[in-house]
Amino acid sequence: MKKISLSISLAASLILFAFTSNSCKNALAEADKSKQYSEKKTILFIAGNPSHKNGEHEFRAGCMLLSDALNESGLNVEAKVHFYGWPEDESIFNDVDTCIIYADAGGKFGEKYAVLDKKVKKDGMGIMFMHYGVHPKKAIGEKYFKPWIGGYMDKKISVNPHWIADLKAVTNEEVSDGLDKPFTAYDEFYFNMKFPSKQECDCCRPLAVATPTPDRIIRYINKWNKHGEKALGKEQTLMWCRDPKPTEGGRGVGFVGGHYHRNWAIDDFRKLVLNAIVWSARMQVPEGGVESKPITKEMLNANLDRPKKSDKPLELPTPDLYKQKPMTQPWFDEKGRRHNEGRPEKVKAAKTVPI
């Protein structure tokens, strides 16, 4: 009888130990998560060199607006901006939780991409590229951008028209907090990006989408192609992410907007990006999203790269931007050559040109 009682007592003790052990593990996991969210995060912006006319590709001024918004948000963060290009003192990356690169052609960092690779994969630093930043050379895109952020602009298939988009944050994503309805912006929104397959990346997914249609494309510029024409009328990913486990590297985000500096004055446009930055640092996005004060005309015109005396001050976005007339859609002949005028009737009647 004593043996039976002893066996029962031992079994009960083992069950209690297992239960307590699992509870402790769960508690530790929650504690780690809570610590991860409560620790102060360091956010580094790298602004690229000036390259466009006043009000376009204002990388430094845009980074400063976003940095100020984060520092004034009440969140436990410290945001700082480096300009222009790659920093000479690479210790600036020490203890950085996420790095935001807003620059031409993926930053043009050459051999320094290897430094970022170590920071992302070994140190778990988050990384985000914006606008022209998502368009590196193809070899760099394949080697680094796909493993970091889960996609990039490939000039052979991607396009860069200026169009009016109704952006919709993907529901059930933290980045969508406070963005319950679509919002409108006119920008050079690239689309038909190069994304990995599910087999290549099972933690890559869209964060914000919009659907381009001919009646909302205001300018077709240098990289318009047949692939872009085929993508018209189909939902396109304008912000996306790679979301690996913490032990597998930092989070990555790509966003195609940011050509026109004035768009930072659109509250939801700004909130979408601020949410993504915070999320990339493995912080919890606040309920309702990252709040920031409205951008005034004075704020919009501060820190611009090279305004000329003849330049008028930048204006805040107005509804008139969304009333612009669409440009006539280019067409492609049987040899794939682009034509901007004289579209044949048989091509006009077709919804798309076969590729």
> How do residues 231-243 score in pLDDT, each as one tens digit?
999 999 999 999 9
User: What tokens appear for 253 in the block?
Assistant: 């985000």
Q: Between the CA of residue 291 and those of 31, 61, 251, 267, what are the distances in Å?
A: 26, 19, 22, 9
Query: What single-letter amino acid sits at 263?
Result: N
> What does DSSP say about strands 162-169 and 204-210: parallel, antiparallel, or unpaired?
antiparallel
Q: Which long-range contacts (CB under 8 A, 24 or more apart) does 137-140 make?
A: 137/105, 137/106, 140/106, 140/113
Tell me the pLDDT of the chain averaged across its residues: 89
Q: Is the pLDDT of residue 292 over 50?
A: yes
CATH code of 39-302, in short, is: 3.40.50.880
Q: State the virtual CA torsion across 209, 215, 218, 222 in degrees, nearest 10.
A: 80
- Domain regions of the chain by residue span: 39-302
CA distance linking residue 317 with residue 126, whole number of Å: 31
pLDDT, tens digit, 9 for 90 and up, residues 202-255: 999 999 999 999 999 999 998 899 999 999 999 999 999 999 999 999 999 999
Note the pLDDT of residue 5: 52
User: Measuring CA to CA, which residue among 258, 265, 268, 257 is closest to residue 317?
Assistant: 265
The conformation of residue 213, written as its DSSP 8-state character, comes to: -
User: Which secondary structure element, helix H or strand E, spans residue 345, and what is its range?
Assistant: helix 345-349
Q: Using CA atoms, how far apart are residues 97 and 251, in angstroms rounded to an integer?
A: 10
Identify the band that residue 37 occupies on the pLDDT scale cut at 50, 70 and 90: low
Crossing angle of helices 267-280/59-71, nearest 10°? 70
